[in-house]
Structure 1
């Protein structure tokens, strides 16, 4: 018995040592404002720049309704996740899949949550590699139109080079400066996007009708627009991981400061999303580009500055999403494969991950076409309705109460989004596939 007690004590000590090393649980001294700018950096991604384009596919009325509904639903599901982080006294669900295991059981919880989370986090990292590379290229082309054209893949390599350094920051708290800079930049380029659009003014022949001239085409484009809006709200995938960095005691649980940060973040999200979507569509109508900054041509210095801000922002966003993947990989290697926690292990895994996302981004720099497809499949569940299913499974609210109704409405809307968005996206991918070139 004594041996067993000693063994369990040594095992506990080993587990504690591992937790002190893993990126999500190694530092628990974050302030509420860390939560604010981490959430802004995770949420306000390059997706904000495609919102005017999404609005052109959804139309004025449905588009505004879907934007507002998405903001309300995702704020509600985010509140649920913040509440569920410490619903078991003395235990913290530091990772999305741990909450899934509590709701659905140890095995099923993993199978439901992990594949979706991996698709979202790795997908976002690849998209941001492409976005960063393309934005750098745009800065170069705008500031030096007569210079020799440099292919996008080389800009992606240049963008990736900083991640080979930054990815070795050990945890969320150590990257707070990068995240703060990214959050400030997202507010800056969003403001430039809508202010420059309004300054340009609406052209006299602006057209707000649907792009597609057939009913079928308009319906499929509508589905793509849904996927693009879903992609704009992907921050839930790292919200428990962000909350895990905040200190917690029975008297002062982490949900207080976390929720404060989330509210500030969501106000900033609204300030970024709504003016960009509405002003961009108002000025350009159905001719607006997939990226609103590409529709803006003048003044050159402002467009270059906005694209540079996008680069700084996606550097921070990439790191936020990569940290979740690093935690999964390192947990697996250390806990399941029993490899000792070390600098070498971390260096090899993280460098390999950055290299893989870089190569995939270089091979298919049209990844944004796959975005609405993945956006519907994985982003909709993890953001719109998986927290509601977990809430119903864990808290079991009485049927026909307000909580019961709210959760079922979110689930029905989320499942509809998950089914429709990939259909439209698949058609777009097939249409564009004829002109795609690998490593272009």
Structure 2
């Protein structure tokens, strides 16, 4: 009798523990659902593959495409073409990795970059590694887009109204910022799909205008393709700066997980299918934007090309004005490191194709991270005496 009572008590305790565990699981799921419903990127998981295409084009094809001919003038034909192609291939490969890692744990989605970092490096270390880098990237890109948007607005104003009174660039930047203040109040990622579509169309349009207008203007007299630097030291620094320009042009990975988070997913139809389809379409658009602008722009103007190809183009005025306005629309939409994670999580066999490929990408990325800021810092020091803030 006593044994039976003891067994019954153990059974009751076991059932109670199961109930408590089930209750805690339900509570955690409810809390996570409440967070997901509140967060802009996961409050509406009904995006299609073409939404992913729009968002990826908008995130990747930044205004940096307009500086690619200038980067080519500092890289030269051979290194420039190789670096352009390598950048396209490596960024596409690493983006594929992120798409695959989004749902690598059954029943869980890594909707934000820091969550993937925590899975790879640990709960605390992942935050310390990922979040500072992501913030630096976001802040830097947003500053550049603010300035680019303001300068393009100013260029548009001066092109369509040559006799108008000159307005400071800082005022145009504030006008641009006010538009973002409004857009920042939209409820979720899908609510800016129209903006992303417009921005994606604009990026393809102004890129096309840039290289077709370059052809229309024709090759400049006495065009030269030698390096712009007058000394080996200056040429080296310019080369390093150009590496940074190319890297900036291929930015956009920092929001890929957030884009994929808007796509519905089931075990039978995981989100990586439509997401990868959207990425492939987006990268075709990237190629159509980047390679013609970089190669044709450099071919026509040589090492005298401006740091923004649209500045080198003056006619036809209406077309250049339109292109600058398209840049503004695009950066409005655009405003809104994965190999190491892959090795840490999947642990491919040493010296396998996956292992070697990832270490090659890590090596190139590390070189880029170390070398390109050196050139940029040298340019800042050299030009600092001519800077005029709020001009």
Which category of TM-score, normalised to the shorter sequence, fits these structures? Answer: over 0.9
Aligned position for 2:389: 438
Mapped partners of 2:351, 2:28: distance in 1: 46
Mapped partners of 1:141, 1:85: distance in 2: 46
The correspondence for 2:150, drawn from 117, 133, 142, is 133
1:220 aligns with 2:237: yes
Give per-residue Cα distances to partners, 1:207-250, cap 9 Å, x unaligned: 10000011111011000000000001111100011000000000
The correspondence for 2:106, drawn from 86, 89, 113, is 89
| Residues 71 and 242, structure 2, Cα contact 8 Å, conserved in 1 | yes
Aligned position for 1:304: 321
Mapped partners of 1:23, 1:112: distance in 2: 24
Mapped partners of 1:432, 1:267: distance in 2: 37
Aligned position for 2:338: 387
Q: Which runs of 5+ in 1 are unaligned?
A: 320-385
SS in 2 for 1:150: coil
SS in 1 for 2:263: coil
Aligned position for 2:374: 423
Mapped partners of 1:4, 1:37: distance in 2: 43
Mapped partners of 2:204, 2:26: distance in 1: 49
Structure-1-length-normalised TM-score: 0.83
Q: How well do the aligned residues superpose, as a CA RMSD in angstroms?
A: 1.2
Mapped partners of 2:31, 2:272: distance in 1: 28
The correspondence for 1:285, drawn from 289, 294, 302, is 302
Aligned position for 2:311: 294
The correspondence for 2:222, drawn from 183, 205, 211, is 205
What is the total number of aligned residue pairs between the two structures?
374
Mapped partners of 1:276, 1:4: distance in 2: 59
Aligned position for 1:361: none
1:156 aligns with 2:107: no
| Residues 168 and 390, structure 2, Cα contact 8 Å, conserved in 1 | no
Mapped partners of 2:80, 2:140: distance in 1: 25
1:25 aligns with 2:37: no
1:59 aligns with 2:76: yes
Report the CA distance between 1:9 and its aligned residue: 3.9
Report the CA distance between 1:25 and its aligned residue: 1.3
SS in 2 for 1:434: helix
Structure-2-length-normalised TM-score: 0.93
Q: Which runs of 5+ in 2 are unaligned?
A: 1-15
Give per-residue Cα distances to partners, 1:375-430, cap 9 Å, x unaligned: xxxxxxxxxxx211111111111111111111111111111111110100000000
SS in 2 for 1:277: helix
Aligned position for 1:399: 350
**The structure with more radius of gyration:** 2
Aligned position for 2:58: 41
1:252 aligns with 2:269: yes
Report the CA distance between 1:4 and its aligned residue: 7.6
Mapped partners of 2:62, 2:113: distance in 1: 20
Report the CA distance between 1:12 and its aligned residue: 3.6
Aligned position for 1:176: 193
Aligned position for 1:411: 362
Mapped partners of 2:153, 2:25: distance in 1: 53
